[in-house]
Structure formats: structure tokens, C-alpha cells
Amino acid sequence: MMDVARTAGVSPSTVSLYLRRPEAVSPAAGQEIAQAIEALGYVPNLVAGGLAAAGSRVVSVIVPSIRNAFFAETVAAMQTELARDGLQVMLGHSEYSDTDEEALIRTALAWAPAAIVLTGLEHSKGARKLLAAGGTPVVEMWELGEQAPIDMAVGFSHTAVGATAARHFAQQGKRHFAFLGARLAQDRRAAARAEGFVAEARRLGLPEPPVLNHPAPATAEAGAQLLGRVQASLPGLEAVACSNDLIALGVLFECQRRGIAVPADLAVIGFGDLSFSSTSNPPLTTIRPSGDLIGREVARLIHACVHGTRPPPGACIVDTGHLLVERKSG
Amino acid sequence: MMDVARTAGVSPSTVSLYLRRPEAVSPAAGQEIAQAIEALGYVPNLVAGGLAAAGSRVVSVIVPSIRNAFFAETVAAMQTELARDGLQVMLGHSEYSDTDEEALIRTALAWAPAAIVLTGLEHSKGARKLLAAGGTPVVEMWELGEQAPIDMAVGFSHTAVGATAARHFAQQGKRHFAFLGARLAQDRRAAARAEGFVAEARRLGLPEPPVLNHPAPATAEAGAQLLGRVQASLPGLEAVACSNDLIALGVLFECQRRGIAVPADLAVIGFGDLSFSSTSNPPLTTIRPSGDLIGREVARLIHACVHGTRPPPGACIVDTGHLLVERKSG
DNA sequence: TTGTAGGCGTTATCAT
DNA sequence: ATGATAACGCCTACAA
């Protein structure tokens, strides 16, 4: 920066000022500085800037898995919005482990981020303490429920999603359901969907739906295997709710192989409304969580915090809801 | 840090030293310091550390789209490896725009990253200048070809992938091919696969395969539409190569709807070996690029740079190759 | 509008 | 093994 100042014939602080508020500097000086920057290929050092300003323009985002299309969607949307404020996304993935998450939070905090974004409402004790100590704004996303958020939250109720699926099947006159999930022990939001599904079926006076769990990540392969298990053990089954569209996709394929007509013999509902769900055969009935909306809302909240216009507590919890997308599979 | 030093009864330098090389400090002092850190909930400020050390422990990764499962896979694998070295990933996505990429590179450089990871070998003039100026290690990934990399590279030849697909079809006795792609104007690697496919068909003395392009991102929906176009215009068609497994998935579904037998009436080959490809009906023949391997190799290169043991130029270009995964679709 | 001075929380270099 | 000291590159008063 000193080089720029020297070649522009001004002082370093003028350059600094120009960089942050170009209109606060005289047009003539501005020209000189712009030229010097161009000529020298100067790139401001944000590390130094962050240190001096006691707060960097970084937003730390921690998701369970970036491979998961849901979170990829959200992160992408969020990044696009955040970039407008000159905010950079630092990414971490916890692989659904609370202890890993805590370590990531610790590292994140070390960067004095403008905000920190977490997935879900459940975190380790240590994580809560770390977050409570600093004045860093924290947004929890992709989940809303009984539990009060640490600070702000954007998401929806997963038990409500499960209930929607159960009600939908009931409306179609189905009575014997099952829930197909993967890694339910790790993925608490999927578990909440299962719970909501079962609870709603019970409330409607229907037979209690069994919950089948696949120990590996949610893939089409898992779905195909789960359908095999379900067929072997539950003869009168009429409908299955899947914790993820990929599982539903596997179910669809396995049904084709076994000659099970969907939805006549077996109704199928997914979750996620992934890109292939409208194109499958039959098209997949699913529940859309609006991952991109979540990303945008999180960004909006952070934008407000950064600009010192933090919304009132009530507006810091935003419910993005969910949407039943009825197609042909159930 | 001064607080920690005070409560531990040592000087700040000793604390700093302990944090970086615990074995260089006496066990007694180490104990005191550890306790003080624990008691105060001290989190070191990496921004200040980065400034003082003139180089942060951040790796900037710029991909075209994080929604794309290929890159998500690579980023996830890379992050896992990098985390072991205490390196944080800063993510950016260019949406396949060179000018956006240049802006992202500028921001990335402003963080004085330990390394910067780019996708592909093609970048704007400005981007090259920025990168050439600084001494930041740069790794280009997911592509290898005629073009020399800026610094290091990990990837494979996309024209070779296209050629593999064409040879495979030829071996099956097919003669009339087509290539189905999406956003070929933006996605140069997909375009290279198309090119390799066409060139190899020509080399084998087969009719020149038409290349069909879908203007929107590669999805199953795009695949279904492309199959429709292909059926309408190319009556004698025997095989289609898709630029992405999602497109192939859409083709598979559309074939089911139209009663086209795969592979008897039409052979289909994809690219990516995504999670659903082994489970589809029929299972998808595809080409595996090993996105996770790319991520790990990139991390290995960066690890070496960070440790001052930069491999010789020859070892800085690693070809991860590609693998034909033969299944039932073609 | 522009320049000056002090400090942000570390690390690195040198003594001790 | 430990501690004093000087950067690191910028920002934020404040003064001119």
C-alpha cells in the first residue's frame, strides 16, 4: 500500500480511505491512486485489514457434509448473496460428528469471522460455550424446533415434514406405511422426520409404521436395499416415506426390477426435491425444503448484522417451511 | 494471549512458542500454559498470526459450481486432508464465468493463502497475471491437456475420456453415435469430452457423431429433453454418450417412457460414476474420474509446499486418469 | 480533503 | 528454555 501511495503521490491513509470510501477522496487523487493500483497490480491485504479492523470479512459455514446436495445448494446460494457484501465463505464439514464440529468451530472462531453458520440446533456443550463467549453472530440453519437457537436460526420443522408425508398417504387412503432412512443415528434431522411421520400416523389411528435404517450414507443403493428388506418383512405395505430423494430413487429402481407398480402397489414419497425428482419414472412425489431460500435468508440475516442493523429477536428466527410437491409416485 | 501469559506466569513469547512447538518449552511451563488456556477459554487469533507470519493457513479453492457433485466430492476429500495440516478451505464458485473467477482470485490472494486451487487450465489474462505476480503456489485441477499449467496440476485428459467412450461403443459393434451435453459453451471440459468422442469416432472410420447441447445445467431433465431431440432427428441412432451421469439418468428414464430398450435399442454411457449409477435400471455404464483422488492429490501437493518440500516440476503434474466402469446400459 | 500516530495480536529474531 | 523487541500491513481516531 505504501508503494501505491508513493507512486500516486499521496499518503498511505489516503489510499486506505480511497479503497473503503472512494467518494471521500478528491477525484484527482482518486484517479492517481486507481492508476497506481493498476500499474503495481496491488492487492489489498485482508489479513492485515482484518487485524486492524478487529473483525474479518469471513463467514464460517459448517455443514455435516458438502457432498449432500441439500447443503451444497444452500452454501451456493449463501455464497452468492454474501459475495455482494464482500464476504468470503470459509467452509468446514463435520461428517455428522459433534466433536469434529467443535474443533471446526474453534478454528472458525480463530479467524474472528463476521458470522458463523452452523447446521442444526444440536451442538456439543463445548461448542455452545465457545460460541457464547465471543460476540460473534451465529446462525443455525436447516432446523427449527422446540430447542431455542443459540442466536439466530433459519430453517423448518422436520417433524412437521414427517407429519405432512403421513397425512398425504392417509389422504390417498393408504394405511400401512414404513419410513426408510439412512444414518438415522447420526442425522438427527432425518430422525426427526421419521419421528414426525410415525407420530402423525399414530395420531390418525393408523398402524404404527416401522422405521428402517441403513447404516451408510443416503444413496440410491441404500434405497434399493431398504426396499428389499421392506418387501421381505412387511407383506401388506402400501406406502413408504424416504428420508431423502436419493433413497426414493433407489426404491423406484428396485420396484421396477421387482415389477412393483408405483404408486398402485406401493406409494413412494421422498424428501429434498432434487434435480432428478421431476424426471424420474414415475416422477417422484416429494417434499421441498427450499435449500436455496435458507441460504438466502441466512445471508440476509448476516448482511443485517454486518451493517449494524441486527433485526429484533423475533425476526432472528425465520421459518422457511416446507412444500409438498405432488407428482405421480404417491 | 497476554492474559494467558500472565495467569501462567510466563511471557507471551513462551505462550506463542508453546502453541507452535509444545516440545520446545519446559514441561512445567507447558502445564501452566495449558491450564491457563483452558481456564480462560483462549482461542488464538489466526488473523494476527497470519499477519505476523506473513502467510495464512488458508487454502482458497475456486470451483465452477459447488452444486456439481464432482466438485463437491473433490472439495470434501481435499478438506479432510488439508485439515490435518491445520489448513482451512475458503470456497468460491465462479458459475463458469472467467471474469467472476478473476474477481474471486483477487479476493483469494488478498488473504495471502498458503495455496490457491483453481478448476481447469483456462483462465483470463488478468487471472494469470495476478497469479504470476505473487509467489503463491497454485494448483489447477480436473483437467490435463496440451496447455501447460500455471504452476501445478492434478487431473486427467477429457478428450481421452471422450475417446474411451467412442472406442467402447465401437467394440460393442455400434456405429451410429451421438453426444449429449449441457452448457457446452461454458463447460470447456465437457466440450473437450465431446470433442474427443467425435474425433475418436472419426479416427475409427465411423460416421461423425452429432453433438447435442442443452443450454441449462446438466440435469436429468436436460437428459430427457435431449433424448427427445435425438429420437426425433436421428432415426438410426445406436448409442449415446452423455457428458454427465445426471444426463444419462434422464436418458434412461425417457427411454423407459418411450419403450426404448437399453442397451438393445440404444446403448448409453455416462460420466462421473455418481452414487446412483450402479443402482439405476439398467445400471449405468460410465466413466469414473475419481474426484476424491483428485482432491487427495491436490492436498498432497499443497502439503509438500507448506512443508517446504515442493516436489520437482515433473512431479507437480499428476495424471489421475479415468476408469471405464462397464455395467449394463451399454 | 489529506496526513500523522498509535495500535490490532501474533511471530521471529535475537539476547539472556 | 525463556523473554524483550521489532516488525507484519492496515485502520481509526485525530490533527492539520
Q: Which B residues in the span 150-209 are in contact with A, Cβ-Cβ below 8 Å?
A: none
Which nucleotide does the CA of A54 lie closest to, via C1'?
C8
Which residues does chain B have within 8 Å of residue A88's beta carbon, measured at their own beta carbons? Answer: 90, 92, 107, 111
B55 touches strand C (CB under 7 A): no
- Domain boundaries of chain B, sorted by first residue: 2-44, 54-156+291-320, 158-288
Find the mean pLDDT for residues B263-275. 96
pLDDT at residue B65 greater than cutoff 80: yes
Q: Classify residue B266 as left (phi > 0), alpha (psi -120 to 50) or beta.
A: beta
Q: Which A residues in the span 276-305 are in contact with B, Cβ-Cβ below 8 Å?
A: 276, 278-281
Which DSSP string corresponds to B31-97? HHHHHHHHHHT----HHHHHHHHTS-SEEEEEES-TTSHHHHHHHHHHHHHHHHTTPEEEEEE-TT-
Find the mean pLDDT for residues B265-285. 97
Of A90, A92, A224, Cβ closest to residue B279:
A224
pLDDT of residue A307: 87
Domain at B158-288: CATH architecture: 3-Layer(aba) Sandwich (3.40)
Domain at B54-156+291-320: CATH architecture: 3-Layer(aba) Sandwich (3.40)
Q: Which B residues in the span 111-150 are in contact with A, Cβ-Cβ below 8 Å?
A: 111-112, 129-130, 133-134
**CB contact B259 to A (< 8 Å):** no
How far is it, in rounded angstroms, from Cα B298 to Cα A239?
45
Cα of B208 vs its chain's centroid, Å: 30
User: In which residue are the cell numbers 489516503 written?
Assistant: A14
CB pairs under 8 A between A and B: 152
* CA-closest candidate to residue B109, choices B86, B121, B127, B84: B127
pLDDT of residue A54: 79
Of A66, A69, A253, Cβ closest to residue B75:
A66
Element (H, E) at B117: strand B115-119
Same fold flag, A54-156+291-320 and A158-288: yes
pTM (2 d.p.): 0.94
Question: Identity (one letter) of the amino acid at B87?
Answer: L
Q: What CA–CA distances, in Å, run from B298 to A30, B79, B132, B295? A: 41, 10, 19, 5
pLDDT of residue A116: 96
Nearest-10 Cα torsion for B213, B217, B223, B228: -50
How far is it, in rounded angstroms, from Cα B27 to Cα B25?
6
Q: What is the full per-residue pLDDT of chain A (330 aa) written as tens digits?
A: 888 998 988 988 999 999 888 888 888 888 889 999 988 888 989 999 999 987 888 999 999 999 999 999 999 999 999 999 889 999 999 999 999 999 999 999 999 999 999 999 999 999 999 998 878 999 999 999 989 999 999 999 999 999 999 999 999 999 999 999 999 999 999 999 999 999 999 999 999 999 999 999 999 999 999 999 999 899 899 999 999 999 999 999 999 999 999 999 999 999 999 999 999 999 999 999 999 999 999 999 999 998 888 888 888 999 999 999 999 999
pLDDT of residue B218: 96
pLDDT of residue B290: 93
Give the count of beta carbons closer than 10 Å to the beta carbon of residue A79.
Answer: 21
Where would I find the beta strands (DSSP E) of chain A? 58-63, 88-93, 115-119, 138-141, 152-155, 177-182, 211-214, 239-242, 267-269, 286-288, 317-319, 323-325
pLDDT of residue B78: 97
User: In which residue are the cell numbers 443402482 written?
Assistant: B279
pLDDT of residue A272: 97
Could you tell me which residue, B186 or B53, shows the higher pLDDT?
B186
Q: How far is A245 from chain B (nearest CA, A)?
A: 11
Q: Give the residue on B whose Cα is nearest the Cα of A126.
A: B41
pLDDT of residue B134: 74
pLDDT of residue A205: 96
> What are the pLDDT digits (tens) for B87-116?
999 999 999 999 999 999 999 999 999 999
Contact: A219, B275; criterion CB under 8 Å: yes
pLDDT at residue B133 greater than cutoff 90: no
pLDDT at residue B77 greater than cutoff 90: yes
How far is it, in rounded angstroms, from Cα B183 to Cα B173?
30
Contact: A67, B73; criterion CB under 8 Å: yes
Find the mean pLDDT for residues B158-170. 98
> What are the pLDDT digits (tens) for A274-301?
999 999 999 999 999 999 999 999 999 9
pLDDT of residue B10: 92
A12 touches strand C (CB under 7 A): yes
pLDDT of residue B328: 94
Mean pLDDT of chain B: 94
Which nucleotide does the CA of A20 lie closest to, via C1'?
D11
Query: Please, which positions of strand D sit below 7 A from a protein CB?
Result: 1-5, 7-13
Q: Give the residue on A whose Cα is nearest the Cα of B223.
A: A279
Contact: A279, B50; criterion CB under 8 Å: no
Q: Which of A168-177, B206-215, B312-321 has the lowest mean pLDDT?
A: B312-321
pLDDT of residue B87: 92
Find the mean pLDDT for residues B168-195. 97
What residues contact residue B27 under an 8 Å CB cut-off, 6+ apart? none
When computed from its CA atoms, the radius of gyration of chain B, rounded to whole angstroms, is 25
pLDDT at residue B132 greater than cutoff 90: no
Q: Which B residues in the span 71-90 are in contact with A, Cβ-Cβ below 8 Å?
A: 72-73, 75-76, 79-80, 86, 88-90
Closest CA to the C1' of C11: that residue is B52
How far is it, in rounded angstroms, from Cα A169 to Cα B116?
50
